[in-house]
Amino acid sequence: MKIKEILTEDKDVFTDAEASVADKEAGRPVFKVEKVKKGDVYFLLKGDSVKEAKEALGKGAVCVFTENKNENGFFIEVSDIRKALALYSASFYGHPERKLKIIGVTGTNGKTTTANIIAHLLKKSGYKTALIGTLGAEVGEKKLSTSLTTPDPDEFFALLAKAAESEIDYVVTEVSAHAIFFRKLYGLELEYCVFTNLSRDHLDFFESMERYGRVKKSIFCYGQVKNAVVNTDDELGREIFRDRKGRTLTYGLYNPAEVFALDCKYRKGTEFLVNAFDEIEYITTKLSGEFNLYNTLAAMTVVSDIGIPLAYIKESLLSLTPPEGRFNVLQGSGFKVIIDYAHTPDGLEKVLTAARGITENSLICVFGCGGNRDREKRPLMGETVQRLSDLCIITSDNPRDENPEDIIADILAGADRAGKSHIAIPDRKKALLFALRIAHEGDTVVIAGKGAEKHMEIKGEKIPFNDKEICEEYLGRRN
């Protein structure tokens, strides 16, 4: 395939169709200089310098796509570099998205669990299914690592190409707000897209909740989603339902919806009576808490609309287990340990509320906040944990370039307001072991923030670290 063949796909984006290098062979799309190999095509993103583009050419890139053509010869001008990267990647990999049905899941919390439930229900019903998200990618039986919740277009469309080669029926993918903002899925139509909820997160990047919500909403309102599935108990979900022109399905607990639950019981798992498009079944799952009930209802809405009978869904949910790092329950000597990815005020509130429901005595929470991220949410998280737990243990969580003690000081500004017992232990391993040592029969220890992560980010290094492994090793000795 020649580069000029790709340039004809969208003349509003590829504005330099007559570029002198357009007759060259289309190479692999790359936007990081260190990854360039001979024959690749380099995309000069906003903020990068022409020096990097020249370095890419020096390493063998056949041309450079750019929004500002200030060089001749090997530079091709485009109107929007992010759109160009997505369109080029799709074309280079043979437009695999056209051979697949793709289901997206977006929202502040619940993306991973909802996507996993949808994939589980589809597989159990006989559909060949791929899954892309925070925990990596699964294409059929193959497991692959990914760099981000929603991979960049060069990686994302390569994964879709693998899915198409494997004759996958449905691809279920998490869609982050950053992915929407950076147009990673530009030009791709989603068969379904679920909106879970909106709460405070990523304001270090989006600056305001209004802007953050606007970005989330945008994917539903500009013709990219065939069937929207929205939570009517969330304000933005109701707004999407009101403003969207396309087909919209609804789920919820407290506001009118097409899929809803009644008689909900939160014990070791969750039991509820579901009404799905006027079909009724009594459902049992191993997932705990109201927040997981929302995730389950969202998934049921999608697969019910696809045509999977509710009786099949009921049976399939019996074998569903929580995704790695999402409300994973370990058993200690008479006490429970819950490991969860919750890293926002809202996420912590939901996890701690669910944990309280299965706790006989004291609820202990170990958590921290990531460095180089939204500082304003730190005291909110401190206040939330203090309010909902009996003992709050504040520690480190991916401090990145910040001093962990400075992050803890920000958290304490909120924790101190609650006036309950708390302790700061900056060393995360020591904090985990302290919590496990003091836990008594009937207690629950919630370890929040990192979930299934296998490393700690400190000063540009990723140091091996996994909450679950540390806990299992200690509990094995203690038991």
For the chain, domain boundaries: 3-92, 96-317, 328-478
**SS3 assignment, position 225:** strand
Q: Specify the amino acid at residue 358.
A: I
Residue 453 pLDDT greater than 70, yes or no: yes
CATH number, span 3-92: 3.40.1390.10
Round to whole Å and give the CA distance between 210 and 215: 9
pLDDT band at 242 (very low <50, low <70, confident <90, very high): very high
**CATH of region 96-317, choose from 3.40.50.300, 3.40.50.880, 3.40.1190.10, 3.40.630.30:** 3.40.1190.10
Q: Would you call 46 exposed, middle or buried from its count of C-beta atoms within 10 A (0-12, 13-18, 19+)?
A: exposed
Q: Which two tokens stand for residue 270?
A: 């969750």
Q: pLDDT tens digits, residue range 194-217?
A: 999 999 999 999 999 999 999 999
User: Percent of the chain scored above 70 by pLDDT?
Assistant: 98
Local structure of 292: helix, strand or coil: helix
Q: Which two tokens stand for residue 59?
A: 């390493």
User: pLDDT tens digit string along 292-313?
Assistant: 999 999 999 999 999 999 999 9
Tell me how far apart the alpha carbons of residues 254 and 262 are, in angstroms, rounded to a whole number.
Answer: 10
8 Å CB contact between 165 and 94? no
* 416: confidence class by pLDDT, cuts 50, 70, 90: confident
Beta bridge partners, 282, equal: 273
- The structure tokens listed for 293 are 């009930």
* pLDDT of 420: 66
Query: From CA 257, how far away is CA 437, in angstroms rounded?
Result: 46
Q: Which CATH superfamily is domain 328-478 in?
A: Mur ligase, C-terminal domain (3.90.190.20)
- Here the tokens at position 53 are 């583009």
Q: What does the alpha-carbon distance between residue 389 and residue 381 come to, in Å, rounded to a whole number?
A: 12
Residue 419 has pLDDT above 80, yes or no: no
Question: Do residues 104 and 175 lie in contact, with contact meaning Cβ atoms separated by under 8 Å?
Answer: yes
State the pTM of this model: 0.95
66 strand-pairing partners: 77
Return the exposure string of 381-397: e unless at least 16 CB atoms fall within 10 Å of the residue's CB, then b. bbbbbbbbbbbbbbbbb
| 263, pLDDT greater than 80 | yes
